[in-house]
Structures are given as structure tokens and as C-alpha cells.
Structure 1
Amino acid sequence: MKQNSRLWLALHTLGHIANEPDRMHTSAEIADHAGTNPVVVRRVLGRLREAGLLVSEKGHAGGWRLASAPKDITLADIYSALDENIVAPPPADYARSCAVESELHKHVTSVLLEAERSLVERLGETTLAQFQEV
């Protein structure tokens, strides 16, 4: 399975920010630490800001910081903010031309949706606080 780089960037970044939750972290600093471009960082962190997980401030002393305490942010919150599914079912409008294919599609879709629900549930059991000063 292909690793979701936006999810890993978000988890990595928020893990570091959780270690210094009161300090503003710049996109350039985060990008340098993560080995990526600041534009990529801003896109991912912008999604997290829209979800209420981060706040950002512009200007010389600006940057990013957590909107809540690390103990109040779960990995499921982060995953959901990115609005992606790691375990993606086939498209709902997938054309099924035979009965066997139709039944397989229904069964596999059901299994994949259950796996996704289970994943989110498990991610919800872990908070950012669990990664502070690891």
C-alpha cells in the first residue's frame, strides 16, 4: 500500500509542534525538518487549520501552533482533517456488467468501509500527547 505522504507530514509535524506547543513554528522550519518544500507544508497545515487543529499567524513572529492541548488532539482528528481514506473502496459509480462482479463489488466495498471505520476508531485512541518528548 502506498504511504500517504500528506498524512505522514501532518503527523510528523504535529508531533514536533506538540513538544513545543506554545512556540510558533514557521513553514520553512517545518519544511527543513521534514525534508520538503514550505509550499507543501503550508498546503497540509492549511487543511489542519481549517479543521481547527492549528492556528497560524502572519508576520515576522508568525507561524503555526496547536489550537488545542496535545492531549485533546487525536490521530483520528488529523486523519479526518486531511479528508482522505487510506482504505478506499472502489468508486460507487463503478459500472458492473455482470452479477458476479456486482456481488464482489458490494462485498469488497463493505469490507473496505469496515476497515476504514476500524482504522479511524484506532487512531482515535491515540493523542499527540503520547508522542511528546519521545
Structure 2
Amino acid sequence: MSTNTQFALGVHLLTLLATLAPESLSSEAMAESAMANPVQIRRALGRFRQAGLIASKPGVGGGSHLLKDPATITLGEVWRVVQGENHVLGSYPGDPDCAVGRNIQSWVIDVDRRARQAIEDELERTTIAQLVARAHEPRLDGIE
């Protein structure tokens, strides 16, 4: 699964949990809502558990619930949990005997750092609580 898909899935799951708070929800129910495989859901939930955003109870009657106020969870935080230290733009080794090859990585890494900062700055402006509020707004295309 690509990072972008994982981010979108993570936002979906946290917004769903925030909508149903304080109730817990099973990974199967979340998978149905996200139209994803329950294994993908459990992997995503594992990252959010490790980050302290959710708690989960396994077994029958179990499920996951938010540990933090949705108004304090920014999309930037979700991005950092999903993205980790991975490059936004990717990287590859260049030929050290080539003038471009020996320098390209440092140039790309510099652009990557700035791109990552721009993404995080934008995502810090939106919280899960704001998405919960928008979930109940009528859509402009008339589909609900």
C-alpha cells in the first residue's frame, strides 16, 4: 500500500473513531467503512496504538477507541505516524563517478526536506474534529 493511501486510510479510521467516540469499533466494521481489508486496518491501527492515539481491546466485544481529543489530533500528526522518517519524494543511489550521480542525492534530499515541511505545515491546519464536523455537512455534489 502506498504512503498516500495509508495516510488517507488513517485519516478515515481516526475520523470514524472520533465520530463514534467514546464507543469502540471493531477492525471488521472499520474495514467495511473504509472498503479495505481488515488486515490493512489492523496494521494501521497498530501504528496509531504505538503513537498513543488509540487503544484497542482484542477479542469478542473488543475494538478500538481514541485516547486523545479529536480536536488535538492534527492531520500533520497522522502524517508523521504514517510517513515516519521515509522520504516524501523517494531516493536512489547515484553513480559516485558521475558529477550528477555523486551530488544528486544531497540535492534531492534538500528538496525532500522542504517538501516534507510544506506538507506538514499544511496538514497542521486541520484536526480530526474538524473533519468530524465536515462529515455531517451536505456534499456539494448532492451525494450523501
Is 1:42 aligned with 2:42?
A: yes
Q: Percent identity?
A: 33
1:107 equivalenced with 2:103 (yes/no): no
Matched, 1:87 2:70: no
Kindly provide the amino acid, as one letter, of the partner of residue 87 in structure 1. Answer: V
Please give the residue correspondences for 1:53-64 in structure 2 after superposition, counting only pairs within 5 Å: 53-64=53-64
Change (3 A) 1:60 1:97: same
Relative to the length of structure 1, the TM-score reads 0.85
The equivalent residue for 1:119 is 119
Q: Where does structure 2 lack aligned partners over 5 or more consecutive residues? A: 135-144
Question: After the TM superposition, which of the residue ranges 3-12 and 99-108 deviates more from structure 2?
Answer: 99-108
Long gaps (5+) in structure 1: none
Q: Do the aligned residues in 1 keep the contact of 2:94 with 2:101 (CA within 8 Å)? A: no
**4+ aligned runs moved over 4 Å, structure 1:** none
Matching residue of 1:25? 25
1:66–1:86 distance in 2 versus 1, CA, 3 Å = farther
Change (3 A) 1:85 1:126: farther
Q: Secondary structure at the match of 1:99?
A: coil
Separation in 1 of the partners of 2:40 and 2:104?
Answer: 38
Aligned residue pairs total 132
Offset of 1:124 from its aligned partner?
Answer: 1.7
Tell me the C-alpha RMSD between the 2 structures. 2.0
Q: TM-score with structure 2 length normalisation?
A: 0.80
Q: Displacement of 1:123 after TM fit?
A: 1.2
